[in-house]
Copies of this chain bind each other. A is one copy, B any other.
Amino acid sequence: MITLNFANLMEEVIGKNGLTEREIEDFKPEAQKAFQQLIQRKWKELDFLDLPEQDTLKIKEIARQTVDDSEYFLLLGIGGSALGPRAILEALSPLHNLRRTPRVFIYDNVDPRTIDAILEIIDLKKTTVNVITKSGSTAETVASFMILWEQMQKLYGEEAFKRFIATTDPEKGNLREIVRRYGMSSLEIPPGVGGRYSVLSPVGLLLAEVIGVDSKELLLGARDMRQRCMEEDLWKNPALLLASALYKFGQAGRTIDVIIPYADGLKSFSEWFCQLWSESLGKLGLGLTPYPSVGTTDQHSQLQLWMEGPEDKVVLFIRVEDYGVDRKIPIVFEDMDGLNYLSGHSLSELIKAEEESSELALAKAGRPNARITVPSVDAYHLGQLFMFFEIVTAFTGFMLGINPFNQPGVEEGKHFTYGMMGKKGFEERRKEVEASRERKICWTL
């Protein structure tokens, strides 16, 4: 199992910036309230907790067909519909497109340069397109879907729909309507599962199966972690303890939560976490800012700021115990003291030593940090990580007293875009944009 070590969050270890056992004890009633909201399913969006029990038969079947008849798998989605799948892809199949088929492309933007490059590379006759949008009308996703639809129509005419798999709401929305109309292959995102909590739904699982990962393993890990996080006593519940600590540090002005896995393949996992944390918690003037990092790389980018910058951060290390593969650093340049001390060690020794060193350096400087240890980067433990951070996020949201499942703040921007794109009913918004342009002219350098 994944473990949480929180020594470097404690006053006993890092001094006055740390938490005391007493403080955590005193926080128990509040932690309990948050815990009860989860246990009693006070929000319908807590259905993500049930995903480990889903039936994966249809996902496996569709994946099998895809692998059989496709050399390219193009995923169209944005936000939670892309970040989860990408986290799975990069963690479980590093440098996938240079080593494995089907080649996988995740187009989670409307950047014309990117789709141009993708369409140069792929052969549409050998491509399956997975379009993912829960609402069925996410602007970026449907724009790219419409482009691909036309391209496939040119190739296949009325059979075009056969090259698509829709992952969307079981009942509602335009994409579901299109599925009905054409008999398009489809998978369902449960109504009680929000986009950023959807990685363990068909959103992430189809891609997992397509790249040869057994989705059951992801779900098994998630199930076991959920079990661990159902413990009432916060001293025995890693998610409740971490949520309590991050909440309390936030109240004390440490409002930036850095996540730094020591594995290139978990960089996208960091980004997945950052969406989860930002969108879930950032509302009503509250919230904590996540920061996506990767070790050792960002020791040469961010560590200086964490060590000596403002006292506004908590750093979450993710340590990998077994990388599965390894390389010895050979005995070469024996007379050079700047190099020879490395000889005989392995890369995994070095990366783990650096992880531990950064923790300790921060702790000595009185900067709170914690260590999450992952036995290995595989489907089972990745499933654990997903479920762990989803539960931590829900707990923290409940502690903040906000709804961790909505995102009201993004509507305004969407409406301006609708206005500019000429969507009916948003004419006033268009005028507002035009008026704003006038104001801007004199402030340009």
Partner of A307, one of B121, B237, B412: B412
Known contacts A289-B313, A300-B410, A365-B409, then 15 further A-B pairs from the complex at CB < 8 Å, ordered by chain A residue: A4-B445, A109-B296, A112-B326, A113-B264, A113-B265, A116-B327, A146-B343, A150-B332, A174-B333, A178-B333, A237-B445, A281-B305, A282-B306, A286-B310, A342-B421
Q: What is the copy number of this chain in the assembly?
A: 2
The answer to whether B274 touches A289, judged by C-beta atoms less than 8 angstroms apart, is: no
The answer to whether A299 touches B410, judged by C-beta atoms less than 8 angstroms apart, is: yes
The answer to whether B294 touches A109, judged by C-beta atoms less than 8 angstroms apart, is: yes
Interface size on A, residues (CB 8 A): 155
A296 and B110 in contact, given A283-B308, A443-B6 (Cβ under 8 angstroms): yes
A285 to chain B, nearest CB (A): 6
Contact partners of A358 in chain B: CB under 8 A: 413
A150 to chain B, nearest CB (A): 4
A389 within 8 A of B: no
The answer to whether A289 touches B287, judged by C-beta atoms less than 8 angstroms apart, is: no
A187 to chain B, nearest CB (A): 20
Give the distance in Å from the alpha carbon of A115 to the alpha carbon of B262 in the complex: 14
Q: Digit string of A307-342 for contact with B (CB within 8 Å is 1, else 0)?
A: 111111100000000011111111011001111011
A37 within 8 A of B: no
A217 within 8 A of B: no
5 sampled A-B residue pairs with Cβ under 8 A: A83-B301, A97-B98, A111-B262, A256-B256, A337-B423
Q: Digit string of A108-152 for contact with B (CB within 8 Å is 1, else 0)?
A: 111111111110110000000000000011111011101101100
Contact partners of A302 in chain B: CB under 8 A: 274-275, 278-279
Partner of A114, one of B177, B264, B309: B264
Give the distance in Å from the alpha carbon of A296 to the alpha carbon of B343 in the complex: 46
The answer to whether A439 touches B110, judged by C-beta atoms less than 8 angstroms apart, is: no
The answer to whether B114 touches A353, judged by C-beta atoms less than 8 angstroms apart, is: no
A284 within 8 A of B: yes
Name which residue of chain B comes closest to A437, CB basis.
B356
**Which 10 A-B pairs give the minimum distances between C-beta atoms?**
A79-B300, A282-B305, A282-B309, A307-B409, A137-B338, A357-B416, A287-B309, A275-B301, A341-B423, A7-B443
Name which residue of chain B comes closest to A173, CB basis.
B338
User: A28-36, A41-49, A63-71, A344-352: which one contacts chain B?
Assistant: A344-352
The answer to whether A236 touches B333, judged by C-beta atoms less than 8 angstroms apart, is: no
A99 and B80 in contact, given A110-B296, A110-B351, A236-B445 (Cβ under 8 angstroms): no
Give the distance in Å from the alpha carbon of A291 to the alpha carbon of B442 in the complex: 28
A105 to chain B, nearest CB (A): 9
Within 8 A of B (CB), among A351-405: 351, 353-354, 356-358, 360-361, 363-365, 377
The answer to whether A439 touches B300, judged by C-beta atoms less than 8 angstroms apart, is: no
A3 within 8 A of B: yes
Contact partners of A54 in chain B: CB under 8 A: none
The answer to whether A78 touches B413, judged by C-beta atoms less than 8 angstroms apart, is: no
Partner of A329, one of B108, B143, B285: B143
Give the distance in Å from the alpha carbon of A3 to the alpha carbon of B440 in the complex: 12
Contact partners of A79 in chain B: CB under 8 A: 297, 300-301
Give the distance in Å from the alpha carbon of A311 to the alpha carbon of B255 in the complex: 11
Q: Digit string of A410-421 for contact with B (CB within 8 Å is 1, else 0)?
A: 101111111011
A13 within 8 A of B: yes
A330 to chain B, nearest CB (A): 4
The answer to whether A4 touches B143, judged by C-beta atoms less than 8 angstroms apart, is: no
